[in-house]
Amino acid sequence: MATTATRLFNLIAFLQRHPNSSASQLAEALEVSPRTVQRYIVSLEEMGIPVYAERGPLGGYSLVRGYRMPPLMLTPEEAVAVHLGTGLIEYVWGKLFRGSALSALTKIESVLPDDQLQEIAWARGNLITQGIPRINPNLNMEMLETLYQAVRQSTQVDMQYQGKERHTNPEWRRINPYVLVYSWGRQYCVAYCHLRGAMRSFRVDRIQALRSLETSFEKPASFDPVEYMDEHFDPRPTQEVRLLFSAENATVAQDYRCCWESYEERPDGSVVVGFRAPDLDMAARRTLSFLDEARILAPEALKAKVAERARAVLTQYSETPMAIS
């Protein structure tokens, strides 16, 4: 829930962007009543913030022309959010922004008042983050830096890329790198591939060589990175997996809600969950971690794949291999 101090900061920021705002418009933006807005305006005036009102149908509240909110006017909660968020940079992008992140934290901490520094110190010791996949140790940071600069400057690169099928030889490709993506501990580059004549996503750790080019490109205005990731991030067919957890094992499904894209509780206490995997192999790997508490509902091909894996595991760990019917 937003505090009064937070709403006052938001009110100042809103007036900077939207002068001549009516009390009703401000109330809607801050999710408070018009009467509360009137009290906030009085509070700002008492704090020395230059707010004035213009009467008439086109009038409203505004800040005195030229007024700007002082830099780093953060609430304690905002200071904690900035500090914790900056601290996660190294998990995701490694050395790419490590220096900038540390520099930003130093600058922020050097100007924050004591109460906010105390809030940050409390959060550092009491809000612990674990389980985030760290940056891939196989990643070549120089290549990531080169790709970052190419994305930033909209310049083409030539790369030697090893696809998923390791028995095939690496191919040289010329790409227009649009965006960099972090997903589950891996970095990807979404780019237009001139070799394929289509959009593709490339795992950065599979790039074996990279050459920067001076040729620039223009990213289509219609390209939406979020939409592309939702619909086309992995070009391989997507496996839709559905698992059934009995009532006795429903707590297992509940404990791992973060793993499911769908979650359906049934009247008998059982739970049906769903998730998507890029291929049958990955679907089997994830499903095996929940057996024998779950039963596969779909797809049918996954049942055969899991049975095959189970036979291999039993053969490997049984002193006397036995057949499974």
Average pLDDT over the chain reads 85
pLDDT in tens, 287-312: 999 988 999 999 999 999 999 999 99
Domain 141-232 adopts which CATH fold? SH3 type barrels. (2.30.30)
Spelled out in words, what is the top-level CATH class assigned to the domain 239-317? alpha beta
Task: Name the one residue in this structure whose structure tokens are 């830099």.
Answer: 71
Cα atoms in the 13 Å half-sphere on the side-chain side of 83: 26
Query: Would you state the pLDDT for residue 235?
Result: 44
275-280: Cβ within 8 A, 24+ apart: 275/241, 276/238, 276/239, 276/240, 276/241, 277/238, 277/239, 277/241, 278/234, 278/236, 278/238, 278/239, 279/236, 279/237, 279/239, 280/239, 280/305
pTM over 0.75: no
Residue 215: phi and psi, rounded to 5, are: -70, 125
CATH topology of domain 4-63: Arc Repressor Mutant, subunit A (1.10.10)
Residue 261 has pLDDT above 50, yes or no: yes
Average pLDDT for 100-126: 80
The pLDDT assigned to 323 comes to: 55
| Least confident piece of the model among 47-61, 179-193, 261-275, 301-315 | 47-61
Query: Does residue 278 have a pLDDT over 80?
Result: no
Q: Pairing mode, if any, of strands 198-203 and 186-193?
A: antiparallel
Kindly report, residue by residue over 38-96, the tens digit of the pLDDT. 999 998 888 888 888 887 776 788 888 777 666 666 777 888 888 888 878 877 888 88
pLDDT at residue 322 greater than cutoff 60: no
More confident residue, 81 or 233: 81
CA distances from residue 92 to 32, 98, 157, 302 in whole angstroms, order as listed? 38, 10, 23, 32
Q: For residue 324, is pLDDT > 60? A: no
Question: pLDDT (tens digit, 9 = 90+) per residue, 137-180?
Answer: 778 889 999 999 999 999 999 999 998 776 788 999 999 999 99
Residue 321: predicted pLDDT: 54
- The full set of domain ranges for the chain reads 4-63, 76-126, 141-232, 239-317
In this prediction, what percent of the chain has a pLDDT beyond 90?
A: 39
